[in-house]
Amino acid sequence: MMARYCCNRLEPWMSLSVTYSGIATVGCCGFTGKPFNFDIDKGPNPPALWNSPVLQNLRRAFAENRAGEAGCANCSQYVPMSVANTQTITPPQANPLRNHLRQRNLEQLHMAAMAGDTELTMPPAKLALCFSPVCNLRCVMCSQEYYHKNIDFKELQADAILRYQDWLTGVDEIELCGGEVFASNQARRFINKLATSPGLQGVCLRIITNGQLVDKVIEDLLCFERAHFHVSLDGIGSVYEAVRVGGKWPRVEKNLLMLAHHAQSRPGWTLSTSAVLIRDAINGLPDLVKYCLDHGLQLNVQELLPTRNSFRHDLCNSPEARAAIPWREKLETARQMFEDAGYHQQARAVADFAQKVAEAASSDCNAVQRLDFEVLQDVDQIAGKRVMIWGTGSNYRLFFAKWLKSVQNQIVFLGFIDNNEEQWHQQLDGHQINAPGEVAQLAPDLIVLAVTLIWREPVLKQIRNLGLLCEVV
């Protein structure tokens, strides 16, 4: 059967993501299917994970035109074959900085994707690793503070990955993220081993960083011919320090310009920056755009993925955030600056976001009263409330099971909610899992969202559509 749809980036055949939480999945942030677990104490076996039943079934689902059901339906990269990116469906071009082994591996992966093969003998083109949630900053829209206080996590061990060195030599890109990559001892050890191993130096290293610690590892980084660095900024000067609490603008600016200098003299190095469109960042966005244009830095903008601490900074959901800044003026100024400089994609992204905020301001989309996550830590505020938890997967286990056990004598816990029909009316930790349509009759005062970031906004809309008059964390 010829597949009618494909992944624009062929992710099921190209990428694998492995994290400190003992979870592996296809290396795509838009994938909403079930991940697959491994024993973090024993360490991951990347070759086995790469051909796990979950990934093989996903590849098979594409060949049988069922990928939408397998977790890809809402992804922008899931497109009809007739409109797939021609750069994807044609063989990968040679790169003079990529060795023969990696080039051949890419070509074989491409052929396997086109043939719909499910079991692969070659490693992925990209391996994404998250060693730890440890971070040196406490950004206002992030949940890392909660992780440090409430989650007993174990770092992914560098040596557990490096014992598969022969397999790694075929991987073209290794992406590292956190937390903060350079705040993780294991991530730094992994980078050092890559930098000092002749068979691994040729890999393309991709790092997402806040930029504060780059100078501590620059000697190892300079060992890589190919590297991409993405520095999360969100603002300059006082705006940067207000959003990225604990960060110092002079330090990150020095490291940012150092990376830019090296990128200018190294054909295999690239550098980009980003801003998340939250209240304070939007207020300083024109200044950030000007700074990046003046220094020849690529700046991308991205919408906020709602986290446990982000509501007060979220213009699409908080009237107070919209009232605090002249958001229309700031966004339009930034849009025009991007447009005048020829950055049409960024200009369109800003315009689309401004339209979304305008629609939110003129609608009833704020009918659900959202609370900051800190409310859950204040027993007096939640005592006696009728509480439900939406979500029964790994997010619940990692982040909320311990909390529920600690407060269940102070609250009236009504049970769980889940969109997965297979879970309905099952028991979890002694409580029933309910269908969304059954929640209204239970009349909760508070719903706690234990779902991944990509599902928060859809679930909030679902709560609004159900007409539930309750608070949401």
Q: What is the 3-state secondary structure (H, E, C) of 176-207?
A: EECCCHHHCHHHHHHHHHHHHCCCCCCCEEEE
Nearest to 211 by CA among 144, 135, 148: 135
Query: Would you say residue 77 has pLDDT above 90?
Result: no
How large is the average pLDDT for residues 261-282? Answer: 96
Is 46 in contact with 167 (CB distance < 8 Å)?
A: yes
- In 34-111, which ranges are E strands? 36-37, 78-80
Cα distance between residue 206 and residue 204, in whole Å: 6
Residue 380 neighbours by CB under 8 Å, 6+ apart = none
Residue 187 neighbours by CB under 8 Å, 6+ apart = 129, 131, 132, 158, 176, 178, 181
Token digits of residue 458: 């859809």
Q: What is the pLDDT of residue 83?
A: 55
How large is the average pLDDT for residues 60-77? Answer: 74
Q: Over the stretch 125-182, which tens digit does the pLDDT of each residue have? A: 999 999 998 899 989 888 665 555 556 678 899 999 999 999 999 999 999 998 899 9
What are residue 177's DSSP bridge partners? 130
Q: What does DSSP assign to residue 18?
A: E
Token digits of residue 399: 């982040």
Q: Strands of 446-449's sheet, edge to edge?
A: 369-370, 471-472, 446-449, 386-390, 412-417, 431-434, 427-428
Q: Over the stretch 287-314, which tens digit does the pLDDT of each residue have? A: 999 999 999 999 999 988 765 567 788 8
Among 53-62, 256-265, 356-365, 428-437, the range of highest mean pLDDT: 256-265
How large is the average pLDDT for residues 200-216? Answer: 95
How large is the average pLDDT for residues 381-385? Answer: 85
Is 21 in contact with 398 (CB distance < 8 Å)?
A: yes
How large is the average pLDDT for residues 11-27? Answer: 87
Among 82-86, 217-221, 373-377, the range of highest mean pLDDT: 217-221
Q: Over the stretch 326-348, which tens digit does the pLDDT of each residue have? A: 999 999 999 999 999 999 999 99
Helix 249-265 vs helix 214-221: crossing angle, to nearest 10? 20
Q: Over the stretch 183-193, which tens digit does the pLDDT of each residue have? A: 999 999 999 99
Cα distance between residue 145 and residue 133, in whole Å: 10
- In 67-130, which ranges are E strands? 78-80, 126-130
Cα distance between residue 422 and residue 441, in whole Å: 21
> What is the CA angle 41-396-468, rounded to 5?
170
Cα distance between residue 198 and residue 230, in whole Å: 25
How large is the average pLDDT for residues 29-58? Answer: 84
pTM of the model: 0.80
Q: Over the stretch 426-454, which tens digit does the pLDDT of each residue have? A: 999 889 999 989 988 888 888 888 887 66
Mean pLDDT of the chain: 86
Half-sphere exposure of 412 (CA within 13 A, CB side): 8
Cα distance between residue 193 and residue 231, in whole Å: 23
Cα distance between residue 299 and residue 289, in whole Å: 7
